[in-house]
Amino acid sequence: MAEHNSALGLATALRPVQPVTLVRPHAAHRAARFFVEKFPGRSIYAVKANPSPDLLQILWDSGITHYDVASIGEVRLVSRTLPDATMCFMHPVKAEEAIEEAYFTHGVRTFSLDTMEELQKILRATRNAEDLTLCVRLRVSSDLSKLSLAAKFGAEPEETRDLLFAARQAADALGICFHVGSQAMSPDAYANAIEVVRAAIVDASVTVDVVDVGGGFPSWYPDMEPPALERYFDTIHRAFESLPISYSAELWAEPGRALCAEYSSLIVRVEKRRGTELYINDGAYGALFDAAHIGWRFPVKRLREVPTVAPFEAFSFYGPTCDDIDHMAGPFLLPADIQTGDYIEIGMLGAYGSAMRTGFNGFGSDETHIVEDEPMQSLYIEEAEPTAPEERKVVSLDEHRRQAGQ
């Protein structure tokens, strides 16, 4: 694959018909180092956010040694990609066969649960193993997050005493975990959840070895500008230190979005303009699932050689499939003179973009290039300023692998 000096150069030279994914290994490395160095505990990457083997390797090389897996497919992926990684099977409802394979074939020793039924399932599948870390998931509020995860999983307060006591008897190490929801916009989400943990520990009178605050750590999107991540870390650390637990208890977190959102973006082409509606060649069944189905707004930028003098206007997108729901309402702010044939870069798609992509209607593309510019916005750079399109240097993914000796 040919090299290009910039994203603009790529669009100009190749005039790609299909969407093109741009990845930024340095951004993923920076995010990983931030968590490794500043989070006051162990950071466990949530593979569901982006299961790219290339990304998994970048995170491993950057110091992330533990991985939150939610299915036997993710267990197998991490096992073959990072044979020395430690995996934590944190989905609270698992097939018994998946637990058995994870334990006996892949060396998984950490499992989450939120019911007595799941506890018994884990014990049967592992043949009453004596080296298990069992994390009881509590139901907590998602009120301070953009996406709720409060309805499906988590033991209720009236269930936790017996469940924690039973898990304590079966486990080598007992943990308590929770999830405050995706894109938590306030550190108080974690402080409030840790108060639920406190009440559960006091009520059950058990010794807890692990407190796992789950995911929810945010990234930057239009109209979603969270506080600095250090504020989240400080709040979590203070709340954790105040819990009635032993001095040797461990603090865990499961960042997903925060580690990979800045990793990639997408170049799409405008195939048609109808007023303020732009028909583009990726959409709800591709990398823009969240933009269509939950109204997520992503930063956008037109890639054109001649800088625009036109004012910005609010646009919506239609994707390439035949389905009416393949629609992204936005609004996405772009120059008012945008037209058919123009290319648009859509940023912050490292989290859940490629992970949600399908081949519905025969559309889609896995063409990927590495770029060395900065993401459109970053929580890891002070006073980050987006780089002008003409300043970007682009390298093909194949070339990057050759340079790395992979």
Q: What are the chain's domains?
A: 7-23+263-404 (2.40.37.10), 40-254 (3.20.20.10)
Catalytic positions, written as ranges: 322
- Tell whether the model's pLDDT for residue 383 goes beyond 90: no
Length of the chain, in residues? 406
What's the pLDDT at 362?
A: 77
Rg (CA), the chain: 22
DSSP E strand stretches across 38-131 = 42-46, 66-69, 86-89, 110-113
* pLDDT band (50, 70, 90) for residue 376: confident
| Least reliable range by pLDDT among 35-39, 123-127, 128-132, 151-155 | 151-155
Look over the chain and give the mean of its residue pLDDT values, rounded to a whole number. Answer: 90
The pLDDT of residue 217 is above 70: yes
pLDDT band at 401 (very low <50, low <70, confident <90, very high): very low
> What CA–CA distance (Å, rounded) separates 208 from 244?
9
What's the confidence (pLDDT) of residue 381? 86
**More confident call, 300 vs 393:** 300
CB 84 within 8 A of CB 56: no
pLDDT at 330 over 80: yes
- At position 183, the amino acid (one-letter code) is Q
Checking DSSP bridges between strand 312-318 and strand 368-371, what pairing results, if any? unpaired
Q: Mean pLDDT over residues 231-249, rounded?
A: 95
pLDDT-wise least confident of 11-15, 67-71, 111-115, 387-391: 387-391
Q: Are strands 173-177 and 133-137 parallel, antiparallel or unpaired?
A: parallel
Query: Residue 385: pLDDT above 50?
Result: no
The backbone torsions φ and ψ at residue 37, rounded to the nearest 5 degrees and listed phi first, read: -85, -30
| Percent with pLDDT over 90 in the chain | 79
Q: Is the pLDDT of residue 388 over 80?
A: no
**Average pLDDT in the 57-76 region?**
98
What pLDDT is attached to residue 366?
Answer: 81
Q: Is 3 exposed, middle or buried (0-12, 13-18, 19+ CB in 10 A)?
A: middle
Q: In 3D, which of 182, 176, 173, 119 has the Cα closest to residue 152?
A: 182
Question: Given this model, what pLDDT does residue 4 score?
Answer: 53
Task: Report pLDDT for 13.
Answer: 73
Reduced to 3 states, what is the DSSP secondary structure of residue 210?
strand
CA angle in degrees (0–180, nearest 5) for 132-137-138 = 150
Residue 215, number of CB atoms within 10 A of its CB: 27
Mean pLDDT of 369-387: 76
Give the pairing type, strands 66-69 and 42-46.
parallel
User: What value does the mean pLDDT take over residues 19-39?
Assistant: 95
User: With 60 as the cut, is the pLDDT of residue 368 above it?
Assistant: yes
The CA–CA distances, whole Å, from 343 to 39, 346, 368 equal: 38, 10, 16
pLDDT on residue 389: 38
Vertex 343, ends 331 and 379: CA angle to 5°?
A: 60
Q: Which residue has the higher pLDDT, 68 or 399?
A: 68
Asked whether the predicted pLDDT for residue 2 surpasses 60, the reply is no
Q: Provide the pLDDT for residue 5.
A: 58
Please tell me the distance from the alpha carbon of residue 53 to that of residue 124, in angstroms, as a whole number: 32
At 12 the pLDDT is 75
Residue type, 244: P
Question: Quick one: 161 exposed, middle or buried, by C-beta within 10 A (0-12, 13-18, 19+)?
Answer: middle
